[in-house]
Structure 1
Amino acid sequence: MKKLLLVLFVLIAFAANSILCRIALKSGYADPETFSMLRLLGGATTLFAWHLVREKLKEIRWKITEAVLLCAYVFFFSMAYVQLNTATGALLLFGSVQVCMIGWGAIKGEKLSGYKSAGIAIAVGGIIMLLLPGATAPPLIPAMTMVVSGLAWGAYSVRGKNILSPAGTTAGNFILSIPVILILSFIRQEPVHTDTSGILLALISGGLASGVAYVLWYQLVATLSSATASTLQLSVPCIAAGGGGLFLGEVPDVRILLCTLVVLAGIGIVISADQKQRKALGIEQTAAEKNKPE
């Protein structure tokens, strides 16, 4: 039950990042670069303060590759959301995450049952349906920018499967993003545009929906297969679609609703396949224990 609650919190937090970013950009509260910088700064400050209060600064881990992937995900994410609505952006993001994580899992030898493979194929099919040319297809450049963001997040998640200190590593990743923020602040050509609302939205996104949620995600992803972890994240666009309709008036069209239903069907099949696999493994382990010589 505790694990389920953690999963729900993390998935809602992931959706909140899409909603908060879209609110800030659509309402003109912040430009994408400034929002990204403040989001990373919010995550770094929150996690550093948490370690400082607990006197656990020595637990912070420094991983350059993960920090670069985190920065790439955050900046491309905001750039794409300038022209994408909440639901479409989230669907593209986590569809790309699934492709990345499942591909890596296959390379590492993770075996997929026929049932689970079918569920993954259906979920990915929903993403492809969204990208097909048509009157309501998203603009190509922002769509591809979000795909790049998703691939960066997928790689970040995959690398998180092998870490020993989720909180310390996540804190280090956010803190290492600060030099990137400083470099970009010096070389950027566009003027900074933000107000109190934009700053508040970015800091909430960075501190809570990113910093805290990513620590919990690192804890969870180590216990899940790449296929299951990536497929669970495909529920985020459905949550984001609801938030976009509620807070931004972005009512999903028929195309998005249909794609979302297809994706959810695929997720359901994958979860069901996982349950059957765990049940079968439990039966095998029980039988092995009974047949074990005294």
Structure 2
Amino acid sequence: MRLFLLTTLTMIAFAANSVLNRMALAAGSIDAVSFGVIRLLSGAAILALLCVVLRGGIRLGGAGRAAGVASLLLYFYGFSTAYRGLDAGLGALILFGVVQITMFAGGLVKSEAMPMRRWLGAGVAFSGLLWLLWPGGGIPVSLWHGVLMAIAGVGWGVYSLAGRLSRDALQGTAANFILAAPLGVAAGYLLPTVEPTVLTTQGIVLAIISGAVTSGMGYALWYSVLPSLAASVAAVAQLSVPVIAMAGGMFFLGEVLTLQFALASVLVLGGVAISVLKPPAR
């Protein structure tokens, strides 16, 4: 029961990132870049603290660090900017689907064995994403913001692939956040942006919660329960994240679930399920 409750709490934390980001931007309480910067800084701070308490210190080196830092930045800013024009559940679904497709492509690049079920699942999930993003496809989606979320999904997929090289997931995550933080600040505030800086107390608080609690502590909790979960159980658990985000968007933000979106969600999540679940042994 304890493992189930901790896993459920982690999935809620992951989905909450979408709800918090959309809530802050939809209310105009913060701009997208500032949300990403504050989320990154607060996440780095809490992960550094966790490493000091649980590991006795912080190690910044390690295999795949450059790829981890670069892909983390791509994810953070693609994610934050995309939620200027996407509902919470829709954004989470696009992100999740693209992450799985990216990891599938990464396996192909590394010449991993790809059973037919993974090809079939990737094709089904990709068709669902195409339906979501296709102009005039019946589902009202901002193509530009959908592409930004897809870019974020590629970033998180590459980040997940790079994370496989880490021997200590908590240390590796903390190192990526800490090294990405100054680069994120520079990229966020020194490069030209398309929107003015907006900072209110509400927006800052939501960004800190997203960074320190639902990202930093959420990732740490996930890595603590992951060794106790079978790979198939962990994969299925993550299928719940877009669904929880949809529910959160409807409850907290008044978002509407349409039939077309529900059917596209079934395609994306169903395709992912086909890819990650192994058939029972005969």
- Band the TM-score falls in, shorter-chain normalisation: 0.7 to 0.9
Number of the residue aligned with 2:129: 127
Assess if the C-alpha contact under 8 Å between 1:234 and 1:263 holds in 2: no
Aligned residues of 1:77 and 1:146 also touching (Cα < 8 A): yes
Report the Cα distance in structure 2 between the residues aligned to 1:111 and 1:54, rounded to whole angstroms: 37
- The residue number in structure 1 matching 2:15 is 15
Per the TM alignment, residue 108 of structure 1 is displaced from its structure 2 partner at its CA by 2.4
Please tell me whether the aligned partners of residues 135 and 143 of structure 2 are also in contact (alpha carbons under 8 angstroms).
no
Identity %: 37
CA contact (8 A) 2:97 2:268 kept: no
Distance 2:25 2:168 in 1: 34
Q: Are 1:101 and 1:230, in contact at CA under 8 Å, matched by a contact in 2?
A: no
After TM superposition, give the deviation of residue 95 of structure 1 in Å: 1.6
Counterpart residue type for residue 204 of structure 2? I
Which of 147, 152, 156 is equivalent to 2:150? 147
Return 177-186 or 80-89, whichever deviates more: 177-186
Q: Is the 8 A contact 2:67 2:158 kept in 1?
A: no
Deviations 1:115-159 (A, max 9, x none): 444333323322222122324341221111111111010000011
Write the distance in 2 (CA, Å) between the matches of 1:187 and 1:104.
Answer: 30
Distance across 1 between alignment mates of 2:73 and 2:27: 24
Matched ranges for 1:179-258 at <5 A = 179-183=182-186, 184-188=188-192, 191-217=196-222, 220=226, 233-258=238-263
Distance 1:68 1:217, change over 3 A: farther
TM-superposed CA distance for 1:114, in Å, is: 3.1
What SS is found at the alignment partner of 1:104? helix
Q: Deviations along 1:86-117, whole A, 9 cap, x unmatched?
A: 12211221121111101111232333433444
Pairing partner for 2:159 from 156, 161, 174 = 156
1:59 shift after superposition:
4.0
Shift of 1:269: 3.6
Larger CA Rg, structure 1 vs 2: 1
The RMSD of aligned alpha carbons is 2.9
Following superposition, the deviation at residue 170 of structure 1 comes to 0.8
- Tell me the TM-score normalised to structure 1 length: 0.82
Q: How many residues in Structure 1 have an aligned counterpart in Structure 2?
A: 276
Q: Distance in 1 between matches of 2:55 and 2:272?
A: 41
| C-alpha distance in 2 between matches for 1:231 and 1:203 | 29
